[in-house]
Amino acid sequence: MPGGGAWEALSVPYRSGVFDLAGVTPGPARAGAVWHRKSVVSTGDSALTSLGLDIDPAVDASVSATLAVVEDALRSNVASADPLVAEAARHLMDAGGKRFRPLILALGAQMGDPSRAEIVPAALVVELTHLATLYHDDVMDEAAVRRGAPSANARWGNSVAILVGDYLFARAADIAASLGPEAVHLQARTFARLVHGQIAETVGPRGSDPIAHYLQVIAEKTASLIATSARFGGLFSGVTPEQVEALTGYGETIGIAFQLSDDLLDIASESVQSGKTPGTDLREGVPTLPVLYALAGDDTDASAVRLRELLASGPLVDDALHAEALGLLRESAAMKRARETVRTYAEEARAQLAPLPEGSPRRAMESLCDFIADRTS
């Protein structure tokens, strides 16, 4: 799988073996577990080159240095006098993660002056906001594994997971306040949009077209924060208003491609590349693009018909039926079509960079589009 290994290189390593996974729902994710091992972000080395991005070494060094400072600052910014809160708040942060939103922010800041003092706090705001949503999302999705570790809800129960998520939002808001009212507005409005996406996903299309609904959901729940990450990068590095808008558009569209690729990986990942349990969406009955394409298809071959039958029956909680549907989906025309959709969004994100000056920072952002599209091919 092109890209998969490189993505692992970007990630802070999952703490394989540190956690006792015995109490975690068994599933394909646990067999032969190979968690993300190599840390680039935390050492400040070439985070972007290791992803295979076409990038100037000076840009890479600058972005990587920013990410390394962010990494340290994340830890000190979730401290709490209460040992349980402190432990639970650090739990997922220590478990790893791609730090994709700080990466987008740091890349966007390359368009202006990336050494400005606001860049690191802004990156903390977006990563802490993201982290908080993961605590809540895993409660909603009843997910047992996150970043290769037991989810907070699996470890401490739903109430603690929800409240620790709230605490992380509070930390993000506090840091945003240090950046001024525009940052506070932006963080609050982004969070409101994200929550609307999560709610829309929860209640379903309510009579509207399911594919249009799904695309709106992912724009709201995921692209919103990635767009804001790119916007912060532009705003705080001092680029022109036109360039800020271009960066925001880029973040929004690559954010959609990113979530689409995440949904595809939920189906396609054989083992634990994602640090999550593959097939979770299917088990929870969360319809993602390949499922929606499969349901909307009219192919009459036996496997397409059987797949539609399985998917139409609702959440696939039976292990055998779940495995059958996952196998059929992986080989389906719907999956192929969904991969093409990811590529279309990745190409569109690249086109949105047009108003930005040509040069190595822009080339790195263009290269990231290919990376996202290739991640699932």
- Where along the sequence are the contacts to Mg ion (CB under 5 A)? 137, 141
Identify the sign of the CA torsion 24, 89, 68, 107.
positive
The verdict on 141 binding ligand IPE (CB under 6 A) reads yes
| Pick 60 or 141: Cβ nearer Mg ion | 141
| Pick 29 or 239: Cβ nearer ligand IPE | 29
User: Measured from the CB of residue 12, what is the shortest distance to ligand IPE in angstroms?
Assistant: 9
Alpha-carbon gap, residue 335 to 376, rounded angstroms: 10
For residue 171, the partner it binds in ligand IPE, Mg ion, none, with Cβ less than 5 to 8 A by kind, is none
| Pick 140 or 295: Cβ nearer Mg ion | 140
The verdict on 217 binding ligand IPE (CB under 6 A) reads no
Alpha-carbon gap, residue 159 to 352, rounded angstroms: 41
Q: What SS3 state is found at 162?
A: helix
Q: Judge whether 57 and 27 are in contact, CB under 8 Å.
A: no
Selected from 71, 262, 366, 374, the binder of ligand IPE by CB under 6 A is 262
Q: What is the CA radius of gyration of the chain?
A: 20
Q: Judge whether 31 and 269 are in contact, CB under 8 Å.
A: no
The verdict on 214 binding ligand IPE (CB under 6 A) reads no
Residue 97 φ/ψ, nearest 5 degrees: 120, 160
The verdict on 322 binding ligand IPE (CB under 6 A) reads no
244 token code pair: 């800020």
Selected from 222, 248, 273, 352, the binder of ligand IPE by CB under 6 A is 222
Number of residues forming the site for ligand IPE (CB under 6 A):
17
User: Measured from the CB of residue 197, what is the shortest distance to Mg ion in angstroms?
Assistant: 9
The verdict on 253 binding ligand IPE (CB under 6 A) reads no
> Looking at 37-45, 111-119, 176-184, 259-267, which segment touches ligand IPE (CB under 6 A)?
259-267
User: Measured from the CB of residue 271, what is the shortest distance to Mg ion in angstroms?
Assistant: 18
Alpha-carbon gap, residue 96 to 131, rounded angstroms: 11
Alpha helices in 143-279 (DSSP H): 152-156, 158-179, 181-203, 210-218, 224-237, 241-268
Max CA distance (Å), the chain: 61
The verdict on 221 binding ligand IPE (CB under 6 A) reads yes
The verdict on 137 binding ligand IPE (CB under 6 A) reads yes
Q: Judge whether 247 and 111 are in contact, CB under 8 Å.
A: yes
User: Measured from the CB of residue 28, what is the shortest distance to ligand IPE in angstroms?
Assistant: 15
The verdict on 147 binding ligand IPE (CB under 6 A) reads yes
The verdict on 194 binding ligand IPE (CB under 6 A) reads yes
User: Measured from the CB of residue 215, what is the shortest distance to ligand IPE in angstroms?
Assistant: 13
For residue 222, the partner it binds in Mg ion, ligand IPE, none, with Cβ less than 5 to 8 A by kind, is ligand IPE
Residue with the shortest CB distance to Mg ion = 141
Q: Which amino acid is at 17?
A: G
The verdict on 134 binding ligand IPE (CB under 6 A) reads yes
Alpha-carbon gap, residue 187 to 246, rounded angstroms: 19
For residue 134, the partner it binds in Mg ion, ligand IPE, none, with Cβ less than 5 to 8 A by kind, is ligand IPE
Q: Which residue has the tokens 């290994």?
A: 5
> For every residue of 346-374, which 3-state class applies, written as one string?
HHHHHHCCCCCCCCHHHHHHHHHHHHHHH
327 token code pair: 């196998």
The contact set with ligand IPE (CB under 6 A) reads 97-98, 100, 133-134, 137, 141, 143, 147, 194, 198, 221-222, 259, 262, 266, 276
